[in-house]
Chains A and B, each alone.
Chain A
Amino acid sequence: MVVDELDLSDYSPTTTATTTTTEDDHGCNWNGWSPVVDWDMLSGDHDDFHDLIESMMDDKTMLHHHHPARVLNVHDGCNSAVSPGTVMMMDEEVTNNGGGGQDFKGLRLVHLLMAAAESLTGMNKSRDLARVILVRLKELVSPTDGTNMERLAAYFTEALLGLLEGAGGVHGKHMLNNGPCHRDDHHQTDVLAAFQLLQDMSPYVKFGHFTANQAILEAVGHDRRVHIVDYDIMEGIQWASLMQALVSRKDGPPAPHLRITALSRGGSGRRSIATVQETGRRLVAFAASIGQPFSFHQCRLDSDETFRPTTLKLVRGEALVMNCMLHLPHFSTYRAPDSVASYLSGAKTLNPRLVCLVEEEVGPTMDGGFVGRFMDSLHHYSALYDSLEAGFPMQGRARALVERVFLGPRITGSLARIYRARGDEESCSWGDWLGAVGFHPISITFANHCQAKLLLGLFNDGYRVEELATNKLVLGWKSRRLLSASVWTSPNSEL
């Protein structure tokens, strides 16, 4: 059989060497080479890695250079006994399959990623091996070129690398700050452009916002004063349409006074407070332009992003709504789960009329551990990528921008979260958490459901909305659930 050579030389972008020699048996000529990759030992299953390596023998990578191959010795990182290693040699033949090649390649990338994830936390835990694999992956993929799978794999690779270098992910935030996709690195205009694109290309943003807004409208139908506390206001997009809806409301008081309190993260300083203030100004201007009585407030979170209900200014007689958007553009950076937990539990003490929660829907994660959730996350984001591509197959660069600005950091963040929680119990969604804490679900009305369906109708056919529970609408792409919007109320709120 053809053995492949894996070039694991310096972590340089130059790609693997190719030699034209093909070996018929495994370890024959490699005595001269110092390190040997002991694939047999590393993988529990022989065939996996063999296939893996064979799969790596192919096409795509630029085989321009011919370096002498060096194989990294990973013996040291290995735990168990050594058996004669098999060395793979990369064959020069580039198998240029047509369409099948692409799927093949995608599959190989998935295998590689899975192998990397396993080596990070799996049975054969080996950081070096992980590093090896990740380097290899990095050579194979690029964040801006190639198919969806390739770009996705690139981001996952970077995320995994971040995990790797993050020293076990003790300090999640530090790790992310070192990541290449840190949010603040992005130019503000990049962020805006990407946000605009994301909005136009996919229904994710609008779905969450509109569903929540509709629920809010229905809940405060007869109130004169409405107070909304927004966990992450970002640019305040959500409230523009709410204000418009409030202004054109037929029944009830003509235009209730709307008060929005945005939480700003004091800890991260720099942009956050200024951004929130800017958003407030914009909202005020917009409200004035449509004639909506409006006032805007800011509320600072603690340095550790804990929400203290007492810092909130409440007015008697107003309907309180807690808004918590945790989906795509809002969650680009890693938000400590404690922060969200503090927000939601603080919400409980305030007895709001309504709690709107939009979050990412994770698949049923059994006890797959890190790898299981990793694969689930991979599945999730690949569905995301597919959905973006399906709508706009031509606009690769636009999608790449969105991926870079939003999806990449998000991938990093969620992987970090998964990694941190790998030893813990299963992470449940915030919706379940709300239910467990004592909030009561409010059912999604027909109008809301209908609006969601109509909204999706504006986009690609593959999107679908389903009503998972009486109070939860889930947006999905083809067969994969992506976003869920749920509506809750406090059991003690005066309704």
Chain B
Amino acid sequence: MFQSKKPTSMNSTHERVVVVGNTNNNNMCVQGDSGLVLTTDPKPRLRWTVELHERFVDAVTQLGGPDSQYLNINDLSKFLMHHVPPMISYMFSYVAMDLHLYVVSFLLLTSSLYKFSEATPKTIMRVMGVKGLTLYHLKSHLQKFRLGKQPHKEFSDHSSMKDGERASALELQRNTASSSGIIGRSMNDNVHITDAIRMQMEVQRRLHEQLEVQRHLQLRIEAQGKYMQTILEKACQTLAGENMQNSAGYVINHKGMSAGNNQEVGVPNGMKDFGTPPLNFPSLQDLNLYGGGGCQDEQLELQQGMERSSSALLDGFINITDHNNNISQLAGKKRLSPNYTTSGSGANGKSPLIMWSDDLRLQELHGTSASCCIGSQDHDPFIKGDHHHQIQNIGLSMERGSSDIDSSVSDLNYETKPMQLAGGEIKKFDPSARLERPSLRRAQQLSAERMSPIINLPQGRASPFG
């Protein structure tokens, strides 16, 4: 059998051989049992027929190409050509700047990569499954194959090659021109694919980088959001502090204006309960505060809101703090239930609107000296001054589970701003959680968490609103 490790030992075989015929090097070739074609010269050498070579190439490609260290582009291309629908591989040839394409290509690549392993003589032998093929056969042929696949490259590039082998490689190449010609031609057809694949590799590198960048970006945005929160919290606290001082004098008017539901509740107790709990300021979600979902008829909203919310007042207070127990004494008021619809139609004004405005305005509004309307967390209908004031319902999203909301006091003249309930515990809203498009979804998820408190104390405080 041809189990000898050295080609020279083929002499010792007593295998039944079949004369195959002449090849262009005028050697007699015989074919053994194993299907291998051997030359009949004193040193029988394995003849790499086209058929055998193709099997060899197939095995090599399966294993990831002749170059075990890195992907061989040609093999990859051939592999892709065979295994991947032509359309996709054609797509690879375009360097698209689209992340999706990167992802797709990357995934495809990685999936195909997993099939690749090292192409060593041993593995090739295993894969080919041809009897009589020895490691030496494969080793030398593999080297020649590598050389042959890069016809442009200098043979001297292969430092591992010895001169003799190099010469023989050259000779082999010439000699097997016929057999390898076909292979070469098919390789040349892949030049374009080669370039495309090279670009693809570049793209893949870029893709890696992009993923890195994206990860970092996410972290940075988060950090910024956290920092922003600290700012707003501090602002809230300062306002809460000021608020506490004036808590005694407040009369909370519950949406007095438009709906005519003037419930006045003394709030001192509730307000005292405001500590300095962590406050989350409304974020983008609070935009609903401003937008009201585009519903122009805010009067309507207000009325709806008012109908729904029974205890106007201090829902905001209630929800805000940790001291729910304290608040509960304020009202058996139900918590602002999360039926805040964030849709543009404006959330129901469930919570009372406590407006902090200066004396003047409120007086004309309510006829009370100092009325504060605190928009509840859920939403803040903002009462804007006189009858034309519009209460804007803040579609604070309960979806986020933010039961705590900063109510915002509106600028009676302009728009209303969400007002931070002093000391309210705003549900922790993680602004960084959203990296998606801040579209309606964000708008919907208003949580007054990040709104800075705008508490304009009635007495002796210049109205910033105009």
Tell whether A and B belong to one assembly: yes
Residues of A within 8 A of B (CB): 143-144, 185-190, 192-193, 196-197, 199-201, 206, 209-210, 213, 235-237, 240-241, 243-245, 248, 278, 282, 285-286, 290, 391-401, 404, 446-447, 450-451, 454-455, 457-460
* Residues of chain A within 8 A of B440, CB atoms compared: 394
| Interface core residue of A243, A278, A394 (most chain B CB under 10 Å) | A394
* 8 Å CB interface, B195-220 against A: 206, 209-210, 212-214, 216-217, 219-220
Which of A190, A248, A451 contacts B411, CB < 8 Å? A190
Q: Do B284 and A201 touch across chains, with their CB atoms under 8 A apart?
A: yes
Closest chain-B Cβ to A406's Cβ sits at a distance in Å of: 14
B417 within 8 A of A: yes
Closest chain-B Cβ to A215's Cβ sits at a distance in Å of: 13
9 contacts between A and B (CB under 8 A): A144-B414, A188-B452, A189-B239, A196-B282, A197-B286, A245-B220, A446-B206, A447-B209, A459-B437
Q: Do B221 and A206 touch across chains, with their CB atoms under 8 A apart?
A: yes
Task: From B4-12, B161-169, B290-298, B323-331, give the one contacting chain A.
Answer: B290-298
B113 within 8 A of A: no
Q: Do B213 and A401 touch across chains, with their CB atoms under 8 A apart?
A: no
Q: Do A398 and B210 touch across chains, with their CB atoms under 8 A apart?
A: no
Q: Do A392 and B443 touch across chains, with their CB atoms under 8 A apart?
A: yes
Q: Do A394 and B223 touch across chains, with their CB atoms under 8 A apart?
A: no
Closest residue on chain B to residue A448 by CB atoms:
B213
Closest chain-B Cβ to A388's Cβ sits at a distance in Å of: 11
Closest residue on chain B to residue A191 by CB atoms:
B452
* Residues of chain A within 8 A of B392, CB atoms compared: 397
B96 within 8 A of A: no
Residues of B within 8 A of A (CB): 206, 209-210, 212-214, 216-217, 219-224, 226-228, 230-232, 234-235, 239, 281-284, 286-294, 344, 392, 408, 411, 414-418, 420, 431, 435-440, 442-443, 450-456, 464
Q: Do A200 and B464 touch across chains, with their CB atoms under 8 A apart?
A: no
Q: Do B210 and A397 touch across chains, with their CB atoms under 8 A apart?
A: no
Assembly CA distance A187 to B442 (angstroms)? 26
Q: Do B294 and A394 touch across chains, with their CB atoms under 8 A apart?
A: yes
Q: Do A196 and B451 touch across chains, with their CB atoms under 8 A apart?
A: yes
Q: Which 7 A-B residue pairings sit nearest by Cβ, starting from the closest?
A: A395-B291, A398-B290, A397-B290, A397-B415, A240-B227, A187-B464, A244-B223
* Residues of chain B within 8 A of A396, CB atoms compared: 290-292, 294, 415
Given contacts A395-B443, A398-B415, A458-B436, contact A196 B213 (CB under 8 A): no
* Residues of chain A within 8 A of B206, CB atoms compared: 446, 450
Q: Do A197 and B287 touch across chains, with their CB atoms under 8 A apart?
A: yes
* Residues of chain B within 8 A of A290, CB atoms compared: 223
Chain A contact residues: helix, strand, loop or mixed = helix
Assembly CA distance A235 to B248 (angstroms)? 33
Q: Do A190 and B438 touch across chains, with their CB atoms under 8 A apart?
A: no
Closest chain-A Cβ to B384's Cβ sits at a distance in Å of: 10
* Residues of chain B within 8 A of A245, CB atoms compared: 216, 219-220, 223
Which of A192, A209, A397 contacts B231, CB < 8 Å? A192
Assembly CA distance A404 to B220 (angstroms)? 29
Closest residue on chain B to residue A202 by CB atoms:
B438
Closest residue on chain B to residue A449 by CB atoms:
B213
* Residues of chain B within 8 A of A393, CB atoms compared: 294
Which of B281, B414, B442, B450 contacts A400, CB < 8 Å? B414
Q: Do A235 and B415 touch across chains, with their CB atoms under 8 A apart?
A: no
Closest chain-A Cβ to B92's Cβ sits at a distance in Å of: 20
Q: Do A188 and B235 touch across chains, with their CB atoms under 8 A apart?
A: yes
* Residues of chain A within 8 A of B293, CB atoms compared: 394
Assembly CA distance A438 to B282 (angstroms)? 45
Assembly CA distance A459 to B217 (angstroms)? 14
Given contacts A235-B231, A459-B438, contact A454 B213 (CB under 8 A): yes
* Residues of chain B within 8 A of A240, CB atoms compared: 223-224, 226-228
Given contacts A190-B454, A196-B450, A282-B231, contact A144 B209 (CB under 8 A): no
Given contacts A144-B414, A237-B228, contact A398 B287 (CB under 8 A): yes
Q: Do A200 and B438 touch across chains, with their CB atoms under 8 A apart?
A: yes
Closest chain-A Cβ to B99's Cβ sits at a distance in Å of: 8
Given contacts A144-B415, A240-B224, A450-B210, contact A193 B452 (CB under 8 A): yes
Q: Do A197 and B291 touch across chains, with their CB atoms under 8 A apart?
A: no
Q: Do B344 and A458 touch across chains, with their CB atoms under 8 A apart?
A: no
Q: Do A192 and B227 touch across chains, with their CB atoms under 8 A apart?
A: no
* Residues of chain B within 8 A of A206, CB atoms compared: 221, 224
Besides the contacts A200-B283, A396-B415, what 13 more A-B pairs have beta carbons closer than 8 Å? A190-B411, A196-B282, A206-B224, A236-B227, A240-B228, A282-B230, A392-B291, A394-B288, A396-B292, A397-B415, A398-B415, A404-B414, A451-B216
Given contacts A210-B220, A248-B219, contact A197 B284 (CB under 8 A): yes
Assembly CA distance A199 to B282 (angstroms)? 12
Given contacts A200-B442, A241-B220, A394-B440, contact A400 B290 (CB under 8 A): yes
Closest chain-A Cβ to B275's Cβ sits at a distance in Å of: 19
Q: Do A210 and B227 touch across chains, with their CB atoms under 8 A apart?
A: no
* Residues of chain B within 8 A of A197, CB atoms compared: 284, 286-287, 290
Assembly CA distance A243 to B226 (angstroms)? 12
Q: Do B220 and A458 touch across chains, with their CB atoms under 8 A apart?
A: no
Closest residue on chain A to residue B343 by CB atoms:
A394
Q: Do A189 and B235 touch across chains, with their CB atoms under 8 A apart?
A: yes
Q: Do A192 and B452 touch across chains, with their CB atoms under 8 A apart?
A: yes
Q: Do B210 and A189 touch across chains, with their CB atoms under 8 A apart?
A: no
* Residues of chain A within 8 A of B292, CB atoms compared: 394, 396-397
* Residues of chain B within 8 A of A236, CB atoms compared: 227
| Interface core residue of A209, A278, A397 (most chain B CB under 10 Å) | A397
Q: Do A244 and B291 touch across chains, with their CB atoms under 8 A apart?
A: no
Q: Do A193 and B418 touch across chains, with their CB atoms under 8 A apart?
A: yes
Closest residue on chain A to residue B344 by CB atoms:
A394
Assembly CA distance A91 to B292 (angstroms)? 36
Given contacts A200-B442, A201-B287, A451-B217, contact A241 B223 (CB under 8 A): yes
Given contacts A189-B454, A394-B344, A395-B288, contact A458 B435 (CB under 8 A): yes
Given contacts A392-B287, A394-B443, contact A187 B454 (CB under 8 A): yes
Which of A185, A193, A213 contacts B454, CB < 8 Å? A193
Closest chain-B Cβ to A248's Cβ sits at a distance in Å of: 7
Which of A200, A210, A450 contacts B287, CB < 8 Å? A200
* Residues of chain A within 8 A of B283, CB atoms compared: 196, 200
Closest chain-B Cβ to A249's Cβ sits at a distance in Å of: 10
Closest chain-A Cβ to B318's Cβ sits at a distance in Å of: 22
Assembly CA distance A194 to B460 (angstroms)? 24
